[in-house]
Amino acid sequence: MDIFKNLIYEANKAFNTADHLAYVTYPLVNDTKVITLITEHLFNALEKGMDALLYIERLYKRIQQYSDSFEIKLELFKKIISRYGINKEYVSIIKELKEINEYKQKTPAMFTKRNKLVICSTNYRLKTVTLDKIKKYISQIKPFIQLLNIIQDQYDNRFR
């Protein structure tokens, strides 16, 4: 259970960091490159949360051993979300944030225009990210993080 608690802790930490960057740091520095940091932390929060739920499923032998591939973990996550009452929109949010982070890592060009971060992919497909979009992600992800904390409390009570 320590692995589960650690994953939940890391998810909370990444989410709280993203929230702080969006609502405190960004207004102070007004640099759209902070948005890239926020997307990284939001993706990390979702990925750690997904890993925590998959760990519980594996612990109780509801799923088989799986590789550490992101695509495989996402497919397994799609299968188990109904058990926890998680909305399917989180799958698309995870995909979007992963795509943004991949664009950012492989980008030939990244620039700001009118308080928007514009990221070009290698084939010059544009991806724009605004602070409003980031705040929307934060408000959508918050219930997922709260659910993870509730699940952790339930499992803590079982093992007391």
What's the whole-number mean pLDDT along residues 53-71?
A: 90
Asked whether residue 14 carries a pLDDT value surpassing 70, the answer given is yes
Q: What structural domains does the chain harbor?
A: 2-158 (1.20.120.330)
Task: List the beta bridge partners of residue 127.
Answer: 119
Q: Please, is 61 exposed, middle or buried when counting C-beta atoms within 10 Å of its C-beta (0-12, 13-18, 19+)? A: exposed
Q: Is 28 exposed, middle or buried (0-12, 13-18, 19+ CB in 10 A)?
A: exposed
**What is the mean pLDDT of the segment spanning 100-114?**
77
